[in-house]
Amino acid sequence: MGRAITFSALQFLLALTWTVYVIFLPKLAAEVGLAKNVVPWLLLLDQAIFAVMDWRLGMAADRIAMAMGRLGKWMALVTAVSCAAFLLLPFAAMTGSPWLLIALTIVWSATSSALRAPPLVLLGRYTPAPQQPWAAGLFLFGLGVAGAIAPFLTVALRDIDARLPFAICSLTLIATTLAIASGEQRQPAKPPVEKPPAPASGVPVAFLAAIVLLGLGFQLHFAVNSAPNYLRFAKPAELEQLMPVFWIGFNLLILPASLLTKRHGGPFMMAAGALVGAVAAVAVAQAGTLRFLVAAQFVAGAAWGCVMMSALSAALAMGRTGREGFATGALWSLLAVATFTRIAIVIAQLPQQPDFKPLLAWAPAVLWLAAGSLAAWSSREARPAIA
């Protein structure tokens, strides 16, 4: 339990660094002479790097854990490089060199992947299988809290010197990672594992396809559609209070949903969460009052929490034992692909095109329904699978 709480704090801080980065990137880019329209392309580059490195570092974590028995020191070393690059970003902007800023961004993006799949390798190794859904819920709880406070941070940090939040995020993140590495040192070199399950046959392609569709549905629903839907009934200044509703639903129900995942399995609960999310997305699009819209967003957030927690639990189960990094790295990489696609859609200005707006309104529901069907199919261990 204590380890999962520490990992939750780690994910909170990691998500916080991304929020701080997105808030200050336009200002940092302007300081080195980059045009405003370059910023979305930098964000697109970040997601491309995440998509590659999350999977690669997940697989590397598997190999290191199997060969050396200790993963925390390696994770702390890579995180130290990541935090150093992140800390230096505002100082690079002060030099006026765009290439230095971009180079540090690439280093930070690549090395920050050490804090997504690799911690889940530790979680998978030291957490008994029946407790993994609850641990996965705690792991993601920090991500939800960071999402909830992001709108407030956007306002609060607007006029602050970038060096202060970058330094705070970097130092607290490396301190938390060192605490995790220290905790692993106190564990037996070969952690006791209950009777090993039969070797996994791989990660079903249907499961991976479901992750992409779920991620894209989430990106379109929350990052693209949420604000315009709220603005049908509210003023722009009220978005700061309204946008966190989705994450409140995520946080409040993610842990109770883990009890159902323990009983029914990850893919089944992925499918159930996707179905509820699809219905909620339709309700959001068709909402006639702000009160109804807020309620529908709360349900959509709760459904997304169930989907993410059960998907993570399913990936850990598919990776047991010794392939947790491969399976969870694939999950994070494909979620990055979904984010990449959303940013590309925004760069292409498709949300502003009248013919595309009706598609955007219904796309999340359609994507989540399709993903739920694939998740249900993957629960039958459909072939082929990626091993």
Q: What is the pLDDT of residues 69-99, one digit of tens each?
A: 678 888 899 999 999 999 999 999 999 999 9
Record the tokens describing residue 83, joined without a space: 């935090």
Output phi, psi for 190, to 5 deg: -120, 95
What's the whole-model pTM score? 0.91
Whether the CA torsion 133, 372, 324, 114 is positive or negative: it is: negative
* Domains of the chain, start order: 2-185 (1.20.1250.20), 203-386 (1.20.1250.20)
Better-scored residue on pLDDT, 383 or 369: 369
User: What's at 87, amino acid-wise?
Assistant: L
Tokens matching residue 112: 């920050």
- What is the mean pLDDT of the segment spanning 200-224? 89
Q: What is the pLDDT of residues 302-325, one digit of tens each?
A: 999 999 999 999 999 888 878 889
Average pLDDT over residues 292-311: 96
Map residue 191 onto helix, strand or coil.
coil
